[in-house]
Each structure stands twice: as C-alpha cells, then as structure tokens.
Structure 1
Amino acid sequence: MPNFIERRRLARMLDRTAEQVADTPTPEKGWISAMRTALGMSAEQVAIRKGVSRNAVYQAERSEQDGGVSLNQMDKIAAAMGARFIYAIVPNAPIEQLKYQQALLRARSMAADQPEFASWSMDDQQDWIDDTAAQQLHDMPPDFWDNR
C-alpha cells in the first residue's frame, strides 16, 4: 500500500483531472467519429493510415458506441488521426470526500456493535460516529473499503 504522501499526490492528480473533464460530454457518435469528422478525414483515409480496411474503422466506431472497443484499438486509431488516446478513471467527487463517506458508513455500521448505543443522547451518538469516522480515516485499516 502506498504511503500517505503518495496517496495524497495521487488524490490531488485525480481531483484535478476530474475538474478538467467534469463538463466534457462524450460525443453522440463517439470519439473516433468525432475526431474523424472534425478533421474531415474519411474512414478509408484513417484505414490506410492504420493499415486496416475501411470496414475495420467503421467497426471500431460501432464498437466504441457499444462499449466494446479495446484500449489498444483506440490508441492506434487516435495515432492514425494524429491524436493521442487518453484513458482515465476520474472520481465522481473529490477523493477525500469519497474516503470520508466510506469512513462514515463504517462508523455507522460499527455503531450497531456498540452496546447501548441507541440509549445514548443524539449528541453523544453523533460525537461517537464523528470520532470513529475520523479514526477510520486516520488509520485506514486494511478492510477500510470492505462492505460492512
């Protein structure tokens, strides 16, 4: 498991990437078709540059829309059009927020294991959950992301 500093560096990188692409819609006909159309390049011209048939380019466009195109194929087609293919997984929320949500879920689940938790005042219950979530975030136990 990477150390704290490495995790923070990666979290910042992912958060910045998510911000940059947050409002980027996927083109209706897919990225291959959008790039080819923007360039004014025919499928046959892409095919020649890639060393495949025109039908292979059309098939790649269909596969992309269906979610079945390979990363390798996207990379090669992008290169044939003078572009580069970028593959990324970006978080739906800031990394720290995702971790905090998981810590809260764990704390609430752990509360069920506390004898007489239900008899505590609402303030005491909330304090216990907040403290437990903070401890979970600090410790990041190996089972942190396990379903509880």
Structure 2
Amino acid sequence: MPDFLQRRRLARILDRAAAQFTETPSPEKGWIATMRLALGMSAEDVALRKGVSRNAIYQAERSEKEGAVSLKQMESIAAAMGGKFVYAIVPDAPIDQLKYQQALRRAKVLSLEEPEFSRWSQDEQQDWIDDMVAQQLQDMPPHFWDPT
C-alpha cells in the first residue's frame, strides 16, 4: 500500500487527467474512424500501413463502437495512422472528494454500532461523525473501501 505522500502524488495525477478528459467526449463514429477520416485516409490506406486487410480495419471500427476492441489493437491502429492510443481511468470526482464520501459512509455505518449514539444531541452526533471521518481518512483502515 503506498504511503500518504505517494497517494497524494497519484491523486494529483488522476485529478489532472480527469480535468483534461472530462471535456473530451468520445466521437460518435469512434476514435479509429474519426482519426482516419480526419486524415483523409481510406480503410485500405490504414490496412496497408498496418499490414492487414481493409476488412480488419472496418471490423476494428465496429468493435470499437461495441466496446469490444482490444487495447493492443487500438494502439497498433493508432500507430499506423501516425498517432498514439491513450488509455486512462479517471475519477468521477476529485480523489479527495471520493475518499471523503467513503469515509462519511463508513462513519455513518460505524455510528450504528456506537452505543447510545442515537441519544446524543445532534451536535454531539455531528462531532462524532466528523471525528470518525477524519480518523478514517488519516488511518485508511484495511477495510476502508469495503462496500457499506
């Protein structure tokens, strides 16, 4: 498990990538066809450069739209067109926000196990939840990401 500083560095990388890719929707025809058409290349042109048949390029375009194309295939077709394939997993929200949301969920579940919690004042309950969230974020216990 990476230490705190390494997790922060990785979080920054993912947050920057998410900001960059959020504004980049997938083209309707898929990336292969879009790049090929933007370059003015026929499927046969790409096929010759890649050393496959024209039908293999059309099949790759169909497979991409269906979500069935391999990463290796995307990479080699991109290279054949003078490009590069970029693959990424980006978070739906900033990493710190995702971690906070999970810590809050865990704190609420843990509050159900706390004797007398329901009898505390709302301020005491909120203080306990806030403290538990902070502790969860600090300690990152082994079961932090278990579904709650």
Normalization by structure 2: what TM-score?
0.98
* Residue 3 of structure 1, CA deviation: 1.0
Match of 2:48 in 1: 48
Alignment partners' CA distance in 1, 2:26 and 2:147: 32
User: Does 2:128 align with 1:128?
Assistant: yes
User: Does 2:26 align with 1:37?
Assistant: no
Match of 1:107 in 2: 107
* Residue 142 of structure 1, CA deviation: 1.0
Secondary structure in 1 matching 2:114: coil
Q: Which runs of 5+ in 2 are unaligned?
A: none
Aligned-partner residue type, residue 114 of structure 2: Q
Alignment partners' CA distance in 1, 2:50 and 2:44: 10
User: Does 2:27 align with 1:27?
Assistant: yes
* Residue 23 of structure 1, CA deviation: 1.0
Aligned residues: 148
Match of 2:57 in 1: 57
Alignment partners' CA distance in 1, 2:126 and 2:34: 51
**Which digits, 9 at most, give the CA deviation of each residue in 1:41-97, with x for residues without a partner?**
000000011111000000000000000000000000000000000000000100000
Secondary structure in 2 matching 1:132: helix
* Residue 32 of structure 1, CA deviation: 0.3
Match of 1:143 in 2: 143
Q: Which runs of 5+ in 1 are unaligned?
A: none
Alignment partners' CA distance in 2, 1:102 and 1:91: 14
Alignment partners' CA distance in 1, 2:22 and 2:76: 26
Alignment partners' CA distance in 2, 1:81 and 1:8: 36
Alignment partners' CA distance in 1, 2:5 and 2:116: 39
Fraction of identical pairs, as percent: 70
